[in-house]
Amino acid sequence: MQDQLKSDAVIIQALRNKGYKATPQRISVCKIALSSKEHPSVQKICKEVKKTHPTVSLATVYTTLRLLKESSLIQELNFPQGQTRFDPNLEPHINLVCIHCGRIMDVNDSEAKELINKVTKKAKFTPKAQRIDIYGVCQHCSKIDNAKS
Amino acid sequence: MQDQLKSDAVIIQALRNKGYKATPQRISVCKIALSSKEHPSVQKICKEVKKTHPTVSLATVYTTLRLLKESSLIQELNFPQGQTRFDPNLEPHINLVCIHCGRIMDVNDSEAKELINKVTKKAKFTPKAQRIDIYGVCQHCSKIDNAKS
DNA sequence: GTGTTTGCAAAGCATTTGCACAAGT
DNA sequence: ACTTGTGCAAATGCTTTGCAAACAC
C-alpha cells in the first residue's frame, strides 16, 4: 500500500512538534494517510491500522485525520454518497477519478499550477488550496468494457 | 437569485420528454437548480421553492435533484461536513470557492478545457465530467480582512 | 382511471461527541 | 502525577426510503 513510507521517527517528531502525543495508533494512521498513493477512505485506513493495532476505533482514525487536515498535511476529497477520500498531495495536480473502479490517479502537470496562478491573479482571489478532478473511465476499465462488447 | 430564468414551458417539455410528470414542485426545483448561479445547497433550494409551494418537502427536493443529476443536467459538488452544492454549469470551468463567505464563483477559461483534453489523452482516460476548485479568500472577503487589521 | 409523485415520518449512514479508562510525557 | 488520547456507545445531521393520500396525464 505504501511506496514511500515515512519512518516512525519522522512522524513521531512531527507530532510532538505540534504538541500532540505520539501514540502507536496515531503513528500508524499518519503513516498510512501520508504515504499512501491510493487516496484511501476512512474505512480503508482503519482496516489497515487494525492489522497492527486491532483495537483501534473509527473515532481515533477520524480524530487523527482531522489533526492532519488542520495541520495542512492532507486534503479531504468529498464525493457523493458520503464517500470521503484523503490525499497527501497538496501541490496543484490532477485527480483522474475512475467512475468504474473508483481508483484515483494523480497527474502532476505544471500547466495546472500556471492555470491556477493566472486565474486567481485575474480574479484577485487569494488561493490556499485546490482540487482538480476529472471523472471518467480509466484505461484499465475501458479495456474490460471493450472486451465485453 | 435567477438571472437566466428558464421558462416553465421549456422545463415542462424537458421533464415530459424524459418520461417524468411535470408537477409544480418539480418545475420549481428545476427552475432554481438550472438557473441559479449561486451553486445553491439543498436547504437553499428548498427554502426558495417554499416561497411558491409552502408544503414542499425536502424529500421531493432531493428526488428532483437526483433526476437532474441522472439526466446530466446538474453536477453535485460535495464539500466537508456534508455540505453539498449544485452546479448547472457542466462545461469545464473553474470554481473559486471562498472559505470565508462560502460563495462559489465560476470562471470560464478555455485553458481548463485544453488542460483536460491534454491530460486525458496522454493517460488514455475517457473523460465524462470534471471539477476544478480553487479554495481561498475572495476579493470581497480579503478587503474586509484588511480593513479589520 | 392508472400509475406516478408528494409529504410525512422513520430508517440509514458517515461523522462527531461524551465519558470512563488507559497511556504518553 | 498530569494531561491527553483511546474506544465504546450514544448523538448528530444529511440523505434515502416506505407508505397512504393526492395529483398528473
The minimal CB distance from B126 to the residues A115, A131, A142 is found for A142
Highest CATH level, class, for A2-78? mainly alpha
Q: Residue B4 pLDDT > 50, yes or no? A: no
Task: Return the domain boundaries, chain A.
Answer: 2-78, 91-148
pLDDT interval class at B11 (50, 70, 90): very high
DSSP helix/strand/coil, B52? coil
Residues A60, B79: Cα–Cα separation, whole Å:
22
Q: Residue A2 pLDDT > 50, yes or no? A: no
pTM value is 0.92
Q: Which nucleotides of C are covered by protein (CB under 7 A)?
A: 4-9, 13-18, 23-25
Handedness of CA A102, A129, B100, B109 (dihedral sign): negative
CA A4 from chain centre, in angstroms, equals: 14
The per-residue pLDDT for B5 is 58
> How much is the average pLDDT of A26-48?
97
Q: What is the mean pLDDT of chain A?
A: 94
Does the beta carbon of B91 lie under 8 angstroms from any beta carbon of chain A? no
User: Residues A92, A116: contact at Cβ < 8 Å?
Assistant: yes
CATH fit for domain B91-148, picks 1.20.1440.230, 3.20.20.80, 3.30.1490.190, 3.30.420.40? 3.30.1490.190
Q: For A122-126, which contacts have Cβ atoms below 8 Å and span 24 or more sequence positions?
A: A122/B107, A123/B96, A123/B105, A123/B107, A123/B138, A123/B139, A124/B139, A124/B142, A125/B96, A125/B98, A125/B105, A125/B134, A125/B136, A125/B137, A125/B138, A125/B139, A126/B136, A126/B137, A126/B142
**Which nucleotide has its C1' atom closest to residue A65's CA?**
C15
Point out the residue nearest to D3 (C-alpha to C1'): A21
For chains A and B, CB pairs below 8 A equal: 116
User: Residues B42, B65: contact at Cβ < 8 Å?
Assistant: yes
Residues B19, B3: Cα–Cα separation, whole Å:
28
The model's pLDDT over A38-82, given as tens digits with 9 standing for 90+, comes to 999 999 999 999 999 999 999 999 999 999 999 999 999 999 999
Tell me the CA–C1' distance in angstroms for A1 and C23: 29
- Residues of chain B with pLDDT > 90, as a percent, come to 89
Q: Measure in Å the smallest separation between the Cα of A9 and chain B Cα atoms.
A: 31
The per-residue pLDDT for A63 is 98
> How much is the average pLDDT of B99-128?
96
User: Residues A40, A48: contact at Cβ < 8 Å?
Assistant: yes
Residues A74, A86: Cα–Cα separation, whole Å:
7
Alpha helices in chain B (DSSP H): 8-17, 24-35, 42-50, 58-70, 110-122, 139-148
Contacts of B109 in chain A (CB under 8 A): 115, 118-119
> How much is the average pLDDT of B86-99?
97
Q: CB of residue A63 closer than 7 A to nucleic acid strand D?
A: yes
pLDDT interval class at A7 (50, 70, 90): confident
Contacts of B120 in chain A (CB under 8 A): 96, 134, 136
Sheet harboring B94-98: ordered strands across? A104-107, A94-98, A126-137, B126-137, B94-98, B104-107
The minimal CB distance from A128 to the residues B124, B132, B136 is found for B136
The model's pLDDT over A112-133, given as tens digits with 9 standing for 90+, comes to 999 999 999 999 999 999 999 9
Does the beta carbon of B120 lie under 8 angstroms from any beta carbon of chain A? yes
The model's pLDDT over B39-49, given as tens digits with 9 standing for 90+, comes to 999 999 999 99
